[in-house]
Chains A and B, each alone.
Chain A
Amino acid sequence: MAHRANFRRLPFTHMLGIRELRLHDTDPRATAKLERNLAALQLGDFASCAARVLPRLRVALTS
């Protein structure tokens, strides 16, 4: 499609393979909102990873 042709191919030799997000905010409501928004985007495993990893990170950062 025409609008997709506007962007050139990426010259990067490698793409990042981020599979897991670890979220932290001093305000837990911000983290909850981000989780909801990411879930709504249906980014697949990415969002569920964020949810799963979250409690562990909170512990890691506050202890």
Chain B
Amino acid sequence: MVDYIGIERVRELVARVGTGRFIEGLATEIESDYRRWREFEKSPRHASHSSVGVIELMPTSDGRQYSFKYVNGHPKNTAAGLLTVTAFGVLADVDTGYPLLLSELTFSTALRTAATSALAARWMARPSSRVMALIGNGAQSEFQAIAFHPHAGHS
């Protein structure tokens, strides 16, 4: 049986842990993956463009597990009250080829994007930085603000 993590479960988990703390935890995981960069099989994302958007597949493997994300980008969706980006992903065991997990990745992508930004800033921003500009105040910007809040991870 393949495990499934739906949007409700992710929301529940994030609510329990706290958004700031959750993003900080993600940043830690992302950093540890960057530290073993060479272990990952990397390929360009497979992008299928249309006149109104793009659908992309993003596969990778570290030799033990295989994963891909399906994600779209449709800027016009907002006007129709739909999400610009939706995503899901699969995690599989390389040894048996069995899928282990099917997960929503719409909400998770927003959290991961914020976590990656915070991680990059911690390594690259001047330590004395006190002001952050958010150019573009759409759905992602709230996550970005939370990730950079001084009490993120401590609430």
| Bound: A9/B21 CA distance, A | 11
B148 touches A10 (CB 8 A): no
A30 touches B31 (CB 8 A): no
A19 touches B131 (CB 8 A): yes
Which one of B38-46, B51-59, B85-93, B136-144 is at the interface? Answer: B136-144
Question: Which residues of chain B are near A24, meaning CB under 8 Å?
Answer: 133-137
A18 touches B149 (CB 8 A): yes
Say yes or no for B10: interface residue by CB 8 A criterion.
Answer: no
Partner of A34, one of B32, B121, B145: B145
26 inter-chain pairs at a CB distance below 8 angstroms, sorted by A residue, are A4-B21, A6-B25, A8-B32, A10-B24, A10-B153, A15-B150, A16-B121, A16-B122, A16-B129, A16-B150, A17-B128, A17-B150, A20-B131, A20-B132, A21-B132, A22-B131, A22-B133, A23-B141, A24-B137, A25-B135, A25-B136, A25-B137, A31-B137, A37-B142, A44-B151, A50-B145
B residues adjacent to A (C-beta < 8 A): 13, 16-17, 21, 24-25, 27-28, 31-32, 118, 121-122, 125, 127-138, 141-142, 145-146, 148-151, 153
Report, nearest first, the 9 A-B pairs whose CB atoms are least far apart: A7-B25, A25-B137, A34-B137, A30-B137, A22-B133, A20-B131, A31-B137, A18-B148, A18-B132
